[in-house]
Amino acid sequence: MLAERIARIQSTALSKIESAGKLEELEAVRVEALGRKGELALLSKELGKLAPEERAEAGKLLNAAKQALESRLEDRKRVFAAAALNLRLESEWLDLTLPAPGIRPGSLHPVTRIQREIEDLFTSLGFTVVDGPEVETEHYNFDALNIPPSHPARDMQDTFWLTDGHLLRTHTSPMQVRAMEKFGAPLRVIAPGRVFRNEEVDASHEHTFYQLEGMMIDRDVSVAHLIYFMKTLLSHVFRRDVTVRLRPGYFPFVEPGFELDGQCMICGGSGCPVCKQSGWLELLPCGLVHPNVLRSGGIDPEQWNGFAFGLGLTRLAMMRYKIDNIRLLLGGDLRFLTQF
C-alpha cells in the first residue's frame, strides 16, 4: 500500500533527523527524503496510477509527510545554530570591564617618509615647498604647459574630467606655472602632491598616486645643473649611489627633454613585474623648461631659463622599501603599514 510506504519513509527520516549530529547529516536526510530525486518525490510519480479517490487520499498523506519532515528539519537546524552561536560566544567572549591595552603608536606612511626627506633636502638647497589644488583647470593642467588640445595627454582614457569642465590634475606640473606667476624669477620650488590618471591598475600603476615636481629658474641654467640635482636627490633617497641612465624623452613643457631611469632595486636589474622585465624604471622625466611655459608664467625666456623635473613619490617608495605591488600603498592594510 502507498500509505504504508509513505509512513515508513516518514518514520525512517524522522529517526535519522533525531540522530543527526551536524548540519551536513541533516542535509543528507533532507536530500534523501525530500530532494527532487528523493523517496517522496518518487512516490508522488505513482499517484497517477491510482483511482481518483485513492489518489486524493494518498496526496494528502504525502503532503502531510513532507510538512512534518520539513518542520522537524527546521527545528533541528535551529538547535544546531543555537549551539554554534553559544560556542562562538564562549570562544570570542571579551571582558569589557578590563582596562584598554593602551594607545598603539602610529607610524608615517612610506610615501610620507620619502616626501619629507626630499623636502628637507631641497629646502637645504634653497628651494621652497609649494602646494596647489588637486582639482585643476584645463589652462594650468594643459594649455600653460604647452600641451595643445590635440595632445594624447588629453585623451579621455587618461584624464578624469569633471562635469563643470575642470579635471583631476594628471601631474603636479601645473604648480610650475602657478609658482612662476606668484614668485617670478629667479625661482627654486618643489611641489609634492597627489595626482590622478584613468589607468588600468596593475603591480606598478594606480589611478591615484603621488608625485613631486621641481623647478629652478635662473640665468644660464644648463643640463649639468639638472643632472647634479637629480643625482643628489637619488643618492639622498636611497642612501647610496644609484645606477642611472639618461636618454632623450619628449615632454611638451621641456626642451630638450630627458628620461632618467634607475636600475630596478626590486630585482637588481634582472627583470621583474614591477619593471616589466626590463631591469629599469622611469624615475625622473626632466629637461630644460620650454620657452612657451616660461611665457605662460610671466617670465621672459630671453632673460631667464631653467630646468624642471617630475618624479613619482609612490614609485620611489616602492624602490626604497622593495615593495613589489603599488596597490599595497593605498590598501589601508595595517599589517602592511605598521612595518614602517
Is the per-residue pLDDT at 205 higher than 80?
no
Q: Which of 18, 36, 17 is nearest to 28 (CA)?
A: 17
What pLDDT, on a 0 to 100 scale, did the predictor assign at position 119? 95
The answer to whether 172 touches 277, Cβ cutoff 8 Å, is no
**Cα-based angle 117, 272, 195 (whole degrees, multiple of 5):** 45
Looking at per-residue confidence, does 330 or 119 come out higher? 119
Least confident of 74-78, 182-186, 235-239, 296-300: 235-239
Is the per-residue pLDDT at 312 higher than 70?
yes
Q: How far is CA 296 from CA 24, 57, 216, 267, in A?
A: 74, 94, 16, 42
> What CATH architecture is 110-337?
2-Layer Sandwich (3.30)
Rounded Cα gap, residues 82 and 73, in angstroms: 14
Least confident of 156-170, 177-191, 208-222, 268-282: 268-282
A 10 A CB-CB count for 288 gives 19
Q: Which of 176, 196, 194 is nearest to 128 (CA)?
A: 176
Is the per-residue pLDDT at 18 higher than 80?
yes
Grid coordinates standing for 315?
614609485
Is the per-residue pLDDT at 6 higher than 80?
no
Indicate the burial class of 106 (C-beta count within 10 angstroms; 0-12, 13-18, 19 or more): exposed
Q: Which amino acid is at 194?
A: R
Average pLDDT value for the chain: 85
What pLDDT, on a 0 to 100 scale, did the predictor assign at position 60? 80
Q: How far is CA 37 from CA 71, 177, 220, in A?
A: 20, 76, 89
Is the per-residue pLDDT at 244 higher than 90?
no
pLDDT of 65-96, one tens digit each? 788 888 888 888 888 888 888 888 888 877 78
Q: How confident is the model at residue 125 (pLDDT cuts 50, 70, 90)?
A: very high
Looking at per-residue confidence, does 171 or 25 come out higher? 171
What pLDDT, on a 0 to 100 scale, did the predictor assign at position 1? 66
Q: How confident is the model at residue 27 (pLDDT cuts 50, 70, 90)?
A: confident
pLDDT of 285-307, one tens digit each? 899 999 999 999 999 999 999 99
Question: What is the arithmetic mean of pLDDT over 184-190?
Answer: 94
Q: Which amino acid is at 63?
A: N
Question: What is the arithmetic mean of pLDDT over 156-180?
Answer: 89
Cβ neighbours for 66, distance < 8 A, ≥ 6 positions apart:
34, 40
- Identify the H or E element spanning 254: strand 254-263
What pLDDT, on a 0 to 100 scale, did the predictor assign at position 157? 59
What pLDDT, on a 0 to 100 scale, did the predictor assign at position 305? 94
Taking the domain 2-91, which CATH number applies?
Answer: 1.20.58
| pLDDT-above-70 percentage for the chain | 98
Note if the bond before 256 is cis, omega within 30 degrees: yes
> Would the CATH topology of 2-91 be identical to that of 110-337?
no
Least confident of 133-147, 262-276, 304-318: 262-276
Question: What is the arithmetic mean of pLDDT over 108-119?
Answer: 91
Q: Where are the domains of the chain?
A: 2-91, 110-337
Q: Which of 234, 233, 261, 235 is nearest to 248 (CA)?
A: 261
